[in-house]
Structures are given as C-alpha cells and as structure tokens.
Amino acid sequence: MSMKQIANWALNTVTQRGASYADVRIVDHRQRSLATKNGKVGHAGSAETLGIGIRVLVNDAWGFASTDDLSREAVDKAAAQAVEIAKASSRVKEEPVRLAAEPAVKIEWSSPYKIDPFTTSLDQNLDLLTRIDAELLAVKGVTLAESSMQLGRYEQWFYNTDGSDIHQTRVITGAGFCALAFQGTEIMKRSYPNSFGGQHQNRGYELIDELKLLENARRIGEEAVALHKAERCPEGRMNLVLDSSQLGLQIHESIGHPIELDRVLGYEANFAGTSFLTLEKLRTLRYGSDLVNVVADATEQHGPGLGTFAYDDEGVQAQCTPIITKGLFTGYISSRETAHTIGETRSNGTMRAEGWNRIPLVRMTNISILPGDKPLTFDQLIAGTDDGIFMQTNRSWSIDDKRYNFQFGCEIGWEIKGGKLGRMFKNPSYSGITTEFWNSMDAICSRDQWTLWGTPNCGKGQPMQTMGTGHGASPARFRNVKIGTAYKGN
Amino acid sequence: MLTQSHAEQIFKKIKKFSTVDEIEVIFSSTDFSLTRFANNTIHQNVAEVNEAASIRVAFDGKTARATTNRFDDEGLKRAVQSAESIAKVQEPDPDFLPMAEASGGKGTAGPSRSSDQTAAITPGERADGVGKIVAIAKKNKLVTAGIYSSAQTAEAVINSNGLSVYHRQTSAEVSITMLADSSSGWQKANSPDVRNVDPVRLAEIAAQKARDSRSPQELPPGKYTVILEPAAVLDLVGFMFWDFGGLAILDQRSFLNNRIGTKLFGENITIVDDVAHPFQSNAPFDGEGVHRQRVSLVEKGVIRNIVYARSTAAKMRKSEYKDKVGEIRVTGHGFPLPNEMGEAPTNIVFVTPGKEQTVEQMIAGTERGILITRLWYIREVDPYEKILTGMTRDGTFLVEGGKVKHGLLNFRFNQSLIEMLNSVESIGKAVRASGEEAFDMVVPAMKIRGFNFTEVTKF
C-alpha cells in the first residue's frame, strides 16, 4: 500500500464527513542515539516510529487525530474522529479560521549529505565517543566525562485537499561532549562544541568529522579543571563579547520566540507565553542597532540548519523573511491561519510538527543574525575592545514570558584588557532587556567567523513538542551590559 | 488499550525473534486527547492513539535498546536485530547485572488510578468544559487560554526472567490563564479521576487573580518575604530531586555529595518518595519493572536517604561512598536501561510538621511580603549551591498589613534552594500540585523569608 493511498483514505473520509480543508502527514522517523560516560556506554539505542496525523477544518474550526495503525479501518476511524473533534471545537469559537491561499505542489526533496550516518558502523561511533572520554579523563581533576551522538532520518509524506503531494526526507546528525570537575563546593563544566549535546545540523556523518571533537577534548577538560582556580566573574556594567554559540541562543530566546505570530496573537498564553512584539511594532520598533540584521531562513541556500526544509508542514514553500533590517523590526514568522493578521496574503512557511502525532505550530526555522559586511575576525574584535568580558558556551538560560527580561549564564569567561584576553573567570552571567541589549551591539564579526548552530531541544505547545531550530551567528560585542547578576545576593 | 495478557503474547513473539540470553520489553499504550483554547476560542483540538515496544537485549555484559511502534513481524524483528547489533559492538561491562527476577516486581498493590468517567470523556464534554471557562472569562471581561485534556495510558515491563508488571491509568487535566489588559491569573489541576478537577472553580480563581493584579506597580528588587502557592513551590524544589539518586553521587554531579547525613534544610522540612500516596500517580514499578518502595529522603532537614536502581545499589556498596550515604538498598527508582542518569525519586510527598496554615492565614500574618502564584523558566545557575533563576508570572501581589494590596510587575529571582528551605517560616497543607517546570508532587504552600529578587521586568 502506498503512502498516497493511505492518505487518500483519510482525505476521502473527512471530505465525505464535511471537512472544508484537510491535510495528512505520514511520518517515518528513525534515530540512533549513543552516549558514553567515563569511557563506558551510557545509552545505546535506536528508535523508529511510524504513523499518520489528520488535520481537518469543519465548520471553520480545527480537529486533529493521529494513529500509529495504518490499516484502512484505523485510518478511517482516526479521520472520522478528527471530524468529530473539529465539530466539538466549533462550539466554542469567536472567529472562523481563515487560511491564506497556497498553490498545490508535487515535489520530492531530501536534505543534502555526503555520508549517510546510518551507513557508519556502531563500532566507529562508539570508538570515537570512548576515545573522547579517555582524553577528558586524562586531565587530572576531571570527575565526569560524557560524550554523545545522535543520528536521525525524518521522512514525511504530506497531502492535502488542495492537491499537494510533498515527500521530504531530512538526515540529521549531532554530537558533542562535556567535562565536569567537582572540587570543594563547586561543580564546573565545559562543553564542546556547544552545550545541549554539541552541534546538530541537517547533514550526514561528515559533520562529525568536521567538528574535530577528539582534537579539542584535552583543552576542554583542562578548562573545566582550571575554572576552580579562576576568580568569580565581577559584577557591574561592562562591555560584553559573546562567542557565536551563545549569541545563537540569545537570538533563539530574545528574537526567535517573540517573533512567533501565534504567540503574539495569544495562542500560547497559557504555556509558552505571549510576546512584547505586539502588532503595531511591525516596521516601527527599533529592535537593535544598525548592525543588527536578522532573517528567518528555511531555504537550502542558508545552510544545513535544523530549520532547513523545502516545504513546511502545511505545504508552504521554504522562504527567507527579513526579521530585523538595519535594526528595524520588519517581520514575524507566520502560518496560513495567522498571515492575514499582519496584512499578508501568504504564510511565510514556518509551520512545523514534532512528528505524526502532533499538529504543526508556528516554529522557528533558521533564525540567524547576518555577519558584518566588513572583514572582522574574532582576534580583531578583541583587539578593538579596551575592556570587557568575553563569554563562551551557555550554562543557564531564562527569559520572561513576554521575552523582555533575560538572564544567561555561560560556562567560562575571560577578562578583556587593552585589546587582549586576560584572566579566566568562573560563573559568568549577564542579563538585560531584549531591545536595550540588541541596541547596544556595536560590532559583529564577518562571514568567516559565522556558524550555523543547531538547537535540538526547543519546547513549545500543549501537548509539548520538541523541535530543532537553526541559529547562525558570528561573535559580537555589546556595550554597557549588566554582568554578574546571577550570583548577586547569594 | 493494551492489556497485560496481550503484552505477554507480543513478548513471546519478540522473544522468538531474539538470539540472545536475556530480553526485556517495556510496552506503552496511549489514548490521549487535548482541547486547547485561546482568545476565548478552541483553536487546537487533538487526539493520539499510539503503542510502542521498547526492547532491551542483554548478553555477555552488554546491553542495548530499540524502540518501535510497528508491531508487525517485520517491525519487531528489525527492532530486536537493531538492539542486538548495538549491544554486540560494546565492551563487556564488569558491573553489569542480569535482568530483574520475577520477585522484584512484586509489592503491595497501590491505589487504583484508573477511572471509567475519565476514560469516557468525549470531545463534546471537553468543549462543554471549555465553554464554561470562556463564559467566566466573558463575565469578567477577560480573555482566557488553556487546556482541557484526558488520557488513558497503560505500561508493562516483561522480561525473560519471568517478571511481568502492568499499570493502567487515566488522567484529566485543566490549566487556565485569564488575561486582562495589564495582568493575568492562572490555575492548573489534574487527577486520575476527572471528578476531582473542577474547571469552573479553577476559572473563577484565575479570573480573580487577573482582576486583582490589574495595573501592577513596580517594587524594587531585593530580599522579600514571599508566600509561594503550591505550584510555585513545586517548580522550584523539583530541580533538586534529580540529585537524590545514587548514580548522581557516584558521578559527583549531585549537590548532596558530602552532604548526606547532614542537616541541610530547616527543621520543618520532611520529604518522602511514596508512589502509593493517595494524591500521587504513575506506575508502582520502575524502568526495570522493580517495585517502587517508600523512601524517606529528608527528615527534619537532615538528608537521610537517596534512591537506587539495582545496578547503582551494587556499585555504591563497592564504592568509597558506601559508609557516607545512609542505607543502600534497591528502591525501585531506576530509569529504563541503558541510561546515564541512573535513578531519581519522582513521587515526592512533603510531610508537613503540623500547625499548617492556609495561604489566607499566611497573608494575614505578613506585615510586608509578596504573594506568588506561579514561576516560569526556572534554570539552574549553580549546581552545588543549587542557585536557581527564573521569573514570577500570572499573579504576583504585594501583601501589606496582612492583606493583599495590589499587583506587582514580575520579578526575576536568583535564589539558593538550600537557603530557601532553611528559611521557611510557615507551611500549608500538602496538596497534589501541578506546574510546568517539574513533575507533579504533593507539596504545601510556603512562607519564606529573604527570597532574593534581582531584577524587575516590564509587565
């Protein structure tokens, strides 16, 4: 039985029962997940899940039902259930759902990769992780070494009553490690190449080779131990330089989430929250300094980010939307249902679902800050900074439910004095108000310093959905930032 | 819904596909529905039916797991082969234990957590419930958002040593936010039995909080006496229980390293893990099918015990910590193997010391303080001193002269949990509470002195 035939059972059933629109996603998701701890296997497993999700509009209201059973009987039952649910929804509504028009398409697409990660041997995978652990443990004072690798293949067939037929496959690879050092009353941590399990992209195993994990293990272990002898990061207003991974998370929390149009409209008010970016701020709010240029870009041209695809999960083509242009707030990320609220006739294609058993939500794609136009290396950025703090690698992150006030802690900080990096600082943190912070940015490194980071664990929705998002960033400098608040009073 | 006998039949089939010594399967079965509303409208309304088999094989000191929701022969065979191939390439682990014996799953039967009324909830009934919530919002000139969900779940652990345990449960949950122009209020509750969840009552309380916190005023950051409602207590203390496992101590990643047996919290803090408590939920067995036992974690502020999976207990008995960690016994708190985290207590019950006060009595006895409904986006700043940061949300009030005076702009806090649990002035009756940052617990409201707010946000 083909996926199209299975989908047609559902589409026929819901149409006969009164659906004015419906879409069907069949998803086959396979993963391999490996982790080591102190050189021994910590987690070793594979997982696969296959099922169908049926989303319908009946009486101008939504219903959705999903099942892991792809038999005709079960699919028909789920389709009928989706219609009944939509009818129940229609009993409590203020406005009818209005969907922006979208042309039907027929397309096949796969994310590019060089080495299919599932063709690599388990031996090879585990050997790398245990060797990393050995390097970390070779550093005296490292008390816990952890390494991990995730390989995934996400295949989706999308059909809707408009006639779209979209078959997409994304290959996803990620890996990283961390070292912990416990001494006295402190636990210090260093991670590479990022926290949250490292770096993750829509790529094959070639990513693992490029990350130079083993080559960096000894240094990371040594830094974890050295942090115990470092002074605590000072407190006060200072200049701040962020590495690109921390800037990527700063973008995620203080730009990516507030631009979600469903949040702005109150759809997420009970859980994820709302947004300070109310509709009148579009094209009027000075979000950041002139150097701040941010896009939401799901296209392949942007790079192999976790937010790269050909079509979103309601059949809208991937796009690049200017979010902040020379500091001015210029765009939200939207859906077919929300586009009209900002005067648009078309969604900008950001609806994404965690799997077959979840509905698509407005989600970050690749929300990236564009690098500076003028050549500027990291060394030149530091050389141009008289005094300040350089912070690397996220350790804690928190932001209020409208996305104004944030506080981030990093794993390690370095004093900047006279254009040079100096003393190491432990427990660095900074905090601020979103727009004040982005308006204080006065330098950003150029393209050669830019990395497209992957955040694999973004949570949103009820029931909760976890999504991978991409964030390109170069190191950047911010003036007069509040430093060290996390330990104030403690 | 998967039954135990059906799970056992599938297990026999899986076993035939395997070529190794030992095999264990965790079955899960879900029938879940959730009606979501915002802007006084049902805008999302979903249902899911799913069953999965998570197959673990073990031989020669090696183990691995493969999970599938494809129950045809091909799907099950592929999962078994995948688990076997992942296990084969591993180095043998000298600490590896055989799978749990059948006797390990036996224990006192807990209370029933399955309700026919909850299982029978229809989309129409959930819509009716939401309709009542929306009516209360409109009556108060507010806008509401939230969820009304219902679920039936079953899980079973079956292994080749004859262990077979099964748990079936229902749950109903309602969470409500009421929004005014400059303020909001929130309430949430869940229970295996829908009759214990009252959407109307929750909506009325949330609406009152939204009304009472209108036009919030700014108070400078600093240390204040706070009254934390149970959901706020839960979301804070939830961050420490991941450290109450034996493997966290062996890994030296626990804030309890070198602190077990010491008086870390105030005299009025006593905490147990008790899956059989009538307000608790979830299965009475762990990820290996081992029966969960009641464990006294904190007694009058003293850290007494931590919890153990089978393999962690064996490792701890051989470790340098063996004389410093209290009683070492298999408590039935392990996560499914193989894993890096070991175990954790997830059925937390605060045992209150008597003389409980209601939140109203705490307010009446407070000259100046802050009443907090809910906290948000809590993260760990310091893992050993257990400093947490986060925000207040959806109902933060100034208390003066024993009365709630007005709403406040929301605060950011940076607060040590250790200090907080040494500064509890009064405690309420422990109730089943539900938040967003931690698993559900049986916790009281608390009045705490010197809570550390470091910043104020703009709303």
HSE value, Cβ hemisphere, 13 Å, CA-based, for A320: 12
How many CB atoms neighbour CB A448 within 10 A?
Answer: 11
CB A334 within 8 A of CB A264: no
The shortest CB-CB distance from A267 to any of B43, B127, B458 is to: B43
Q: Is the model's pLDDT at A153 over the cut of 80?
A: yes
Fold assignment, A3-229: PmbA/TldD fold (3.30.2290)
What percentage of chain A carries pLDDT values higher than 70? 100
Separation of CA B29 from chain center = 20
**Domains of chain B as residue ranges with CATH:** 4-205 (3.30.2290.10), 216-242+249-285+346-459 (no CATH)
Peptide linkage before B338 cis (omega within 30 of 0): yes
What residues contact residue B12 under an 8 Å CB cut-off, 6+ apart?
Answer: none
Q: Which of B175, B376, B415 sits opposite A400 (nearest CB)?
A: B376
Closest-CA residue of A relative to B252 is A182
How large is the ipTM? 0.96
A340 and chain B: CB distance < 8 Å anywhere? no
Average pLDDT, stretch A25-36?
97
Name the 3-class secondary structure at A280.
Answer: helix
Q: Which amino acid is at B141?
A: K
Mean pLDDT, to the nearest integer, of A291-298?
98
What's the average model confidence in pLDDT over B25-30?
Answer: 98
Residue tagged 């089943």 (tokens): B432
Residue A62, token pair as written in the block: 């939504």
Neighbour count for residue B421 (Cβ, 10 Å): 23
Residue to mutate among B128, B247, B382, with most A CBs inside 10 A, is B382
Tell if the CB–CB gap between A94 and B410 is shorter than 8 Å: no
- Per-residue b/e over B257-277, b at no fewer than 16 CB within 10 Å? bbbbeeebbbebbbbbbbbbb
Reduce the secondary structure of chain B to three states and give it as a string.
CCCHHHHHHHHHHHHHHCCCCEEEEEEEEEEEEEEEEECCEEEEEEEEEEEEEEEEEEECCEEEEEEECCCCHHHHHHHHHHHHHHHHCCCCCCCCCCCCCHHHHCCCCCCCCCCHHHHCCCHHHHHHHHHHHHHHHHHCCCEEEEEEEEEEEEEEEEECCCCEEEEEEEEEEEEEEEECCCCEEEEEEEECCHHHCCHHHHHHHHHHHHHHCCCCECCCCEEEEEEECHHHHHHHHCCCHHHCEHHHHHCCCCCCCCCCCCECCCCCCCEEECCCCCCCCCCCECCCCCECCCEEEEECCEECCCECCHHHHHHHHCCCCCCCCCCCCCCCCECCCCCCCCECCCCEEECCCCCCCCHHHHHHCCCEEEEEEEEEEEEEEECCCCEEEEEEEEEEEEEECCEEEEEECCEEEEEEHHHHCCCEEEECCCEEECCCCCCCEEECCEEEEEEEEEEECCC
Please judge whether A94 and B70 are an interchain contact, meaning their C-beta atoms are less than 8 angstroms apart: no
pLDDT the model gives residue B21: 86
A398, A403, A404: best mutation site toward chain B, by most B Cβ within 10 Å? A398
pLDDT digits (tens, 9 = 90+) for B103-160: 988 887 778 899 999 999 999 999 999 999 999 999 999 999 999 999 999 999 999 9
From CA B428, how far away is CA B439, in angstroms rounded?
20
**Which stretch of DSSP H or E encloses residue A64?**
strand A61-67
When pLDDT is cut at 50, 70 and 90, the band that residue A138 belongs to is very high
- Over chain A, what is the mean pLDDT? 97
pLDDT of residue A9: 98
Please name the member of A45, A187, A485 whose beta carbon is closest to the beta carbon of B86: A45
CA angle at A401 for the pair B364 and A238, rounded to the nearest 5°: 100
A43's enclosing H/E stretch is strand A40-58
CB contact under 8 A, A400 and B410: yes
Are β-strands A236-242 and A387-399 bridged in parallel, bridged antiparallel, or unpaired? parallel
Which positions in chain B touch A35 (Cβ < 8 Å)?
Answer: 340
Q: Within its chain, how far is the Cα of A92 from the centroid?
A: 33
For residues B78 and B68, is the Cβ–Cβ distance under 8 A?
yes
List the single residue in B with minimal CA-CA distance to A357. B48
DSSP structural state of residue A213: H
Q: What is the pLDDT of residues B45-94, one digit of tens each?
A: 999 999 999 999 999 999 999 999 999 999 999 999 999 999 999 999 99
Query: Which residue, among B255, B331, B259, B436, has the nearest Cα to A182 in the 3D structure?
Result: B255
Number of neighbours of residue A409 by Cβ within 10 angstroms: 28
**CA separation for the pair B124, A69 (Å, rounded):** 24
Q: Considering only CB atoms, which chain B residues are within 8 Å of A180?
A: 251-253
Residue of chain A whose alpha carbon sits nearest to that of B66: A46
Q: pLDDT tens across B349-400, in order? A: 999 988 899 999 999 999 999 999 999 999 999 999 999 999 999 999 999 9
High-pLDDT (> 70) share of chain B, % = 100
* A173 lies within 8 A of chain B by CB: no
**So what's the pLDDT on residue B105?**
84
CA-to-CA separations, B223 to A395, A432, B219, B403, in angstroms, rounded: 25, 20, 11, 19
Which of the 8 DSSP states describes residue A141?
Answer: T
- CB-CB contact of A327 with A286 (8 Å): yes
Q: Is A401 helix (H, G, I), strand (E, B) or coil?
A: coil
User: Which residues in chain A are classed under CATH 3.30.2290.10?
Assistant: 3-229
Token pair of A324 as six digits: 């902040």
Whether A144 contacts A180, CB under 8 Å: yes
First to last CA, chain A: 63
> What are A354-377's pLDDT values in tens digits?
999 999 999 999 999 999 999 999
Higher-confidence position of B351 and B1: B351
Report whether pLDDT(B38) > 90: yes
Spatial CA neighbour of A426 closest among A480, A490, A487: A487
**A176 CB near a chain B CB, below 8 Å?**
no
What is the crossing angle of helices B199-212 and B123-139, to 10°?
A: 30
Residue A146's pLDDT is 98
Record the tokens describing residue A289, joined without a space. Answer: 């300094």
Hey, what amino acid is at B99?
M
- Of B337, B325, B332, nearest in space to B316 by CA: B325
Contact list, B190 vs chain A (CB under 8 Å): none
* Average pLDDT over every residue of B216-230: 98
Contact B338 A46 (CB under 8 A): no
Please give the C-alpha separations between residue A312 and each of A365, A367, B195, in angstroms, as whole numbers.
Answer: 9, 15, 41
Cβ of A269 within 8 Å of Cβ of B38? The answer is yes
- pLDDT at site A490: 82
Tens-place pLDDT, residues B260-317: 999 999 999 999 999 999 999 999 999 999 999 999 999 999 999 999 999 999 999 9
The span from the CA of B442 to the CA of B276, in Å, is 12
* Per-residue pLDDT at B425: 97
The mean of the pLDDT values for chain B is 97
> Is B42 part of the contact surface with chain A (CB cutoff 8 Å)?
yes
pLDDT band of A488, cuts 50, 70, 90: confident
Task: Give Rg (Cα) of chain B.
Answer: 24
What confidence tens digit (pLDDT) does each residue in A67-77 have?
A: 999 999 999 99
| Amino acid symbol at B441 | M
Inter-chain residue contact A182 with B253, CB threshold 8 Å: yes
CA nearest A45 in B: which residue? B65
